[in-house]
Chain A
Amino acid sequence: ILNVEQSPQSLHVQEGDSTNFTCSFPSSNFYALHWYRWETAKSPEALFVMTLNGDEKKKGRISATLNTKEGYSYLYIKGSQPEDSATYLCAFGGTSYGKLTFGQGTILTVHP
């Protein structure tokens, strides 16, 4: 059984705060690490697909880093806005084909 763990489980921040959360995954047999955002009443949407140790990806105010040797990825949100409120999911790909194992998610609430 693969352990993909996310922390914290939930997070409340004020508008304008910067925040970050963690995804931990097995450090062996790594192929990919995905991040998704899941807003209430919508479908999960991909943020990043990361494959190389040391990868850094950025999309607007959101960025992510990857450390495959120690098995973790950080997701950062700079200057949080209420519309960033969502569940953030990471998913680990430990094989060359497509199966992904998801973490339980971090629920982010940004208060105006």
Chain B
Amino acid sequence: GAGVSQSPSNKVTEKGKDVELRCDPISGHTALYWYRQSLGQGLEFLIYFQGNSAPDKSGLPSDRFSAERTGGSVSTLTIQRTQQEDSAVYLCASSPTPTANTGELFFGEGSRLTVL
């Protein structure tokens, strides 16, 4: 009965390294989202998974970013060759319904990434 779980909660890495951020959604939620918030910015959409449909990757800022969702549950966001501008709080959210007009999002507490 836990909420959305994200790990790590904090990650400090050196420029050029790869990082993986994990999201464990609420059991049974079919929709999963990744957003990020850079300093002084709003929530920026990254990617959206819905069931077995092809994910909406339209928000991924570059080809260094990728995400997968295994078995319709856990999702991993991977950032390759990190850059300082990747520093942000990465938020994952899940929803029990696939449609924006009924499905409120349930957010995790975020993974704060700092790239030195």
Q: B4 — which chain A residues lie within 8 A by C-beta?
A: 43
Task: Please report the total number of A residues contacting B with Cβ < 8 Å.
Answer: 27
A-B contact pairs, 19 of them (CB 8 A): A32-B102, A34-B100, A43-B109, A49-B103, A51-B102, A89-B43, A91-B43, A97-B48, A97-B100, A98-B48, A98-B97, A98-B98, A98-B103, A99-B56, A100-B33, A102-B35, A102-B42, A102-B44, A105-B42
Closest Cβ–Cβ distance, residue A4 to chain B (whole Å) = 8
Residue in B41, B45, B108 whose CB lies within 8 Å of A99: B45
- Whether, in the assembled complex, A31 has its beta carbon less than 8 Å from a beta carbon of chain B, the answer is yes
Q: Is the interface of A mostly helix, strand, loop or mixed?
A: loop
Distance in Å from the Cβ of A41 to the closest Cβ of chain B? 8
Supposing A31-B100, A49-B101, A98-B99 touch, asked if A43 and B108 sit within 8 A by C-beta, the answer is yes
Looking at the complex, which one of B33, B50, B104, B106 makes contact with A49 (CB distance below 8 Å)?
B104
In the complex, A8→B76 CA distance in Å?
35
Closest to A95 in B: B100
Q: Which residues of B sit under 8 angstroms from A94, Cβ to Cβ?
A: 100
Contact A102 B45 (CB under 8 A): yes
